[in-house]
Chain A
Amino acid sequence: MGESTITGARIRPAVQLVGLRKVFGTAANEVVAVDDVHLEIGEGEFFSLLGPSGSGKTTVLRMIAGFELPSAGAILLEGQDVTRLAPYDRDVNTVFQDYALFPHLSVHENVEYGLKVKGVKKTERRRRAGEMLESVRLAQLGSRRPSQLSGGQRQRVALARALVNQPKVLLLDEPLGALDLKLREELQVELKQVQREVGITFVFVTHDQGEALSMSNRIAVFNHGRIEQVGSPRDIYDHPSTSFVAGFVGTSNLLNAALSHRLFGVDAVHSLRPERIRLVHAEVADGETCVSGTVTDIQYLGADCRLRVTLDNVDGTTSGDRMLATVASDGLVGVALGGPVRLAWPRFAAYTVSSTDPTTDQTTDPMRVDFTGGTPP
């Protein structure tokens, strides 16, 4: 898969966030939900806001939609300042996490709602809503009430209700969060397909890094209300610029400064993906870094195995530095629990990352394993 042709830099931005900040609460007890966010989201882009719970993703989305007034900064839609416009005066639509379908209206009436309040003629709006329902494969269910639909169907109604207005930007707040895994994966594909067809800019909030990696043109990774990194899924995965991103997106070994100094002669935290590490049976190749250690755990995952290794010091004593390696199950000959092992990786596989707020980010434990299925695209 090549690089996406759609990146914010090349096309007129649909959304610009300039120094956006949002503070909740009273002066004595304030919560900075969003801080100093600068972003440009290109027209037609599928852009994800990724981050852990409470990192401010929803707040950013609500400010773009017009439900919250920023404490500072500006929001531009296609170059126009909309910071102080009411939601109904903005050409954006939202798909809410709980869908927020009107319970007293039928599916068809729900989809028609936006056209109705804008004064579109009855026959015209019936037709357009019908077409929209057709394209999300719900044409047969138009007369039902939302309470008579399954979760996946409600999700599609919410999507249709927003898209029928042909907004400049569609905002989606964890639209798949309430669905089970299987349905979720199905709808991920479907959503992506719809986005390609309609060509509308999608701003997609998720805390699922796999979802963000597989669907987005670009991703902004949030932590504590700030953006840690913006880039294509490949960028984010292969070149995480901070230890937080390295730990949050996929699984990473974070090699602390002391270990890095010993291994690379550089006094900075490095990130190393477990799947870049191989077992050394014979020779170390040119340009590889090699360490030895003791196997403390072997986790069998099918095609792959996950090894936990405690590294040795140069003098052969145990250092206490730990490392996670994902290796092919086939190659596991001669490796036993508690036995010695040698690991190697290409020198360029380890990246310097800047360490962010070590007290609160979740990457202080290099063995943190919450790999939720994100694969490098």
Chain B
Amino acid sequence: MNLSRAARWVLRGATWLGLAFLYTPLIVVAVLSFNTATSLSWPPKGLTLDWWRKAWKVDGPSDALVNSLQVAVVATIIALLLGTLAAFAMQRFTFFGRSSLSFLLVLPIALPGIVTAVALQNSFSRTIDLGLFEFRIGFGFHSLVIAHATFCVVVAYNNVIARLRRSSANLLEASADLGAHASQTFRLVTFPLVRSALLAGGILAFALSFDEIIVTTFTAGSGFETLPQWIFANISRPNNVPLVNVMATFVMLVSIPLAWMAQRLSDGDGIGTGR
């Protein structure tokens, strides 16, 4: 396309403006985490690593970070297992109610978080009477994992089923035709085909769980705090604002390579595009 010089400059300017709009707040947070002053003043008075040291020493932030990581990892693993199994079943078999089930599987991610949150909070706090025995799920690490898994499953399921749909159904037959037993077909064809989709789904699920706050607030109970909760609680305490900046920057640094990887994995590596 031929653009006039002026038009090109305008476009270039607009691109940079857009990027600045997106990233200035992030950069501000990152820089402020090295600020000597506790207030959110700009420009920073001087630079220091004190906040970074302190963030790991005091109890709150590091505990919250570990909690968040644990919940995210366990929820992701559960989601990958259930989501993959569901995707295989949906792809492989036709049965009564299949399309409704498929809809029900992806619904949790479309529902407003607050609705899911209230529903889960309600069921976890109830005592469920099964006649023979009764039980109550209660709150804590386990309830949070269950809650997060509900929406993480969707991501895993969607990624895997999209990959399965895009790859020709004949591939499994072709493999058997060439002499491969079921286990060989799984190892040499099925798994390699869904591997990158699994990884991408896993990263997304992890990210979703890691920064979730609405459902978390309702289902964590009082004794358990995740990083987003800690940040939300401390952003209003002037003394802790620099620590909040440190945690935010840290999370950002960790997310960048993950986001990059997820992006790479989900758009074309030539795999899964049929023939």
A65 with B275: CB separation less than 8 A: no
Nearest to A86 among chain B residues (CB) is B176
> Separation in Å of the A147 CB from the closest CB of chain B?
5
A100 with B174: CB separation less than 8 A: yes
> Could you say which of A96, A103, A117 contacts B179, with CB atoms under 8 Å apart?
A117
**Chain B contacts for A7, CB-based, 8 A:** none
Q: Given known contacts A87-B177, A93-B177, A100-B173, is B184 in contact with A117 (CB within 8 Å)?
A: yes
**Which residues A159-176 have CB closer than 8 A to chain B?**
161-162, 165
> Separation in Å of the B125 CB from the closest CB of chain A?
46
Q: Given known contacts A98-B275, A117-B188, A147-B270, is B178 in contact with A103 (CB within 8 Å)?
A: no
Nearest to B273 among chain A residues (CB) is A147
> Could you say which of B176, B177, B275 contacts A103, with CB atoms under 8 Å apart?
B275
> A91-117 vs B: 1/0 string, CB under 8 Å?
011101011111110000000011011
**Interface residue? A126 (CB, 8 A):** no
**Chain A contacts for B140, CB-based, 8 A:** none
User: Count of A residues near B, CB < 8 Å?
Assistant: 30
User: Count of B residues near A, CB < 8 Å?
Assistant: 24
B171 with A102: CB separation less than 8 A: yes
**Chain B contacts for A93, CB-based, 8 A:** 177-178
Residue of A87, A93, A116, A165 most packed against chain B (CB within 10 A): A87
**Chain A contacts for B180, CB-based, 8 A:** 88, 113, 117
**Interface residue? B181 (CB, 8 A):** yes
**Interface residue? B271 (CB, 8 A):** yes
The distance in angstroms between the C-alpha atoms of A93 and B174, with both chains bound, is 9
> Could you say which of A88, A94, A98, A161 contacts B181, with CB atoms under 8 Å apart?
A88
The distance in angstroms between the C-alpha atoms of A314 and B23, with both chains bound, is 94
A103 with B167: CB separation less than 8 A: yes
The distance in angstroms between the C-alpha atoms of A102 and B170, with both chains bound, is 10
**Interface residue? B192 (CB, 8 A):** yes
**Interface residue? A128 (CB, 8 A):** no
**Chain B contacts for A88, CB-based, 8 A:** 176-181
The distance in angstroms between the C-alpha atoms of A103 and B174, with both chains bound, is 12
**Interface residue? B108 (CB, 8 A):** no
**Interface residue? B175 (CB, 8 A):** yes
> B244-275 vs A: 1/0 string, CB under 8 Å?
00000000000000000000000000111111
A103 with B170: CB separation less than 8 A: no
Q: Can you show 26 pairs from A to B with CB atoms below 8 A apart?
A: A65-B177, A67-B173, A67-B176, A88-B179, A88-B180, A88-B181, A92-B177, A94-B173, A94-B174, A96-B173, A100-B275, A101-B174, A102-B175, A102-B189, A103-B272, A103-B273, A114-B178, A114-B179, A116-B188, A117-B178, A117-B180, A118-B179, A145-B270, A147-B273, A162-B178, A165-B178
**Which residues B156-204 have CB closer than 8 A to chain A?**
167-168, 170-171, 173-181, 184, 188-189, 192-193
